[in-house]
């Protein structure tokens, strides 16, 4: 992962060095507040519960995650109208009442939210030596287990479109 990050930084510097001074200024001016867009839009999943207790690396990666706090904050943002819940399949809005109904059914239990899928824009500011990620939305997903408790897949719950 570190190699990919360094590659992105080096690539940005290489691209900038091939541009004329006016092109450089224009590129930096377009997004001077947040850097040069290097990924728009990128989607990727992140497991936030380690379902394999023998995987010590996954446990180590998640050791500083405040799972309950994160999920509660996301649900509360929807319930308070600060973020919009969307249907995963058609991106149609889901009412707060429907989300509450989904949650109360037990099908989407907060403590069992095992995966998030982020939709983001990535920016690099080569002058400041920084990289930022702007999250547009996050999908909440729950594990689907077989009879023996083995993971079969993740079930999409709903997408939370965040205010920009």
Instruction: Tell which residue, 114, 138, 142, has the closest CA to residue 49.
Output: 114
Helices assigned H by DSSP within 18-66:
21-30, 56-61
Mean pLDDT, rounded, for 35-50 = 95
Of 164 and 50, the one with more pLDDT: 50
6, with CB counted inside 10 A (0-12, 13-18, 19+), is exposed
Cβ-contact 84, 93 below 8 angstroms: yes
Is residue 82 included in any domain, yes or no? yes
**SS3 of 96, please?**
helix
Q: What is the pLDDT of residue 13?
A: 43
The band of 55, judged by pLDDT with boundaries at 50, 70 and 90, is very high
Is residue 14 included in any domain, yes or no? no
Is residue 17 included in any domain, yes or no? no
Is residue 50 included in any domain, yes or no? yes
Q: What is the pLDDT of residues 81-139, one digit of tens each?
A: 999 999 999 999 999 999 999 999 988 899 999 999 999 999 999 999 999 999 999 99
Domain of 114 in residue numbering reads as: 34-162
Mean pLDDT, rounded, for 134-154 = 94
What does the alpha-carbon distance between residue 154 and residue 112 come to, in Å, rounded to a whole number? 11
Residue 78 has pLDDT above 50, yes or no: yes
Is residue 5 included in any domain, yes or no? no
Q: What is the pLDDT of residue 21?
A: 55
pLDDT over 90 percentage in the chain = 73
Cβ-contact 79, 110 below 8 angstroms: no
Residue 23 has pLDDT above 90, yes or no: no
Domains held by the chain: number: 1
**SS3 of 159, please?**
strand
Chain-centre distance for alpha carbon 162: 11
Is residue 15 included in any domain, yes or no? no
Residue 48 has pLDDT above 70, yes or no: yes
Q: What is the pLDDT of residue 33?
A: 52
The band of 20, judged by pLDDT with boundaries at 50, 70 and 90, is low
Out of 33-37, 93-97, 107-111, 142-146, pick the least confident.
33-37
Using the 8-state DSSP alphabet, how is residue 163 labeled? Answer: P
Using the 8-state DSSP alphabet, how is residue 55 labeled? Answer: -
Is residue 12 included in any domain, yes or no? no
Cβ-contact 141, 131 below 8 angstroms: no
How many residues would you count in the chain? 164
pTM score:
0.76
């Amino acid at each position: 992962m570190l190699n990919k990050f360094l590659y992105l930084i080096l690539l940005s510097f290489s691209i900038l060095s091939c541009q004329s001074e006016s092109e450089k200024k224009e590129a930096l001016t377009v997004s001077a507040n947040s850097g040069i867009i290097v990924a728009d839009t990128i989607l990727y999943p992140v497991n936030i519960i380690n379902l394999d207790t023998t995987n010590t690396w996954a446990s180590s990666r998640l050791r500083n995650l405040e799972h309950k706090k994160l999920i509660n904050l996301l649900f509360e943002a929807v319930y308070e109208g600060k973020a919009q819940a969307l249907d995963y399949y058609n991106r149609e809005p889901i009412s707060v009442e429907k989300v509450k109904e989904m949650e109360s059914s037990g099908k989407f239990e907060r403590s069992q939210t095992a995966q998030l899928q982020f939709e983001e824009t990535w920016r690099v500011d080569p002058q400041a030596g920084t990289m930022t990620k702007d999250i547009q939305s996050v999908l909440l997903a729950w594990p689907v287990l077989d009879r023996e408790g083995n993971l079969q897949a993740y079930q999409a719950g709903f997408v939370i479109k965040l205010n920009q």
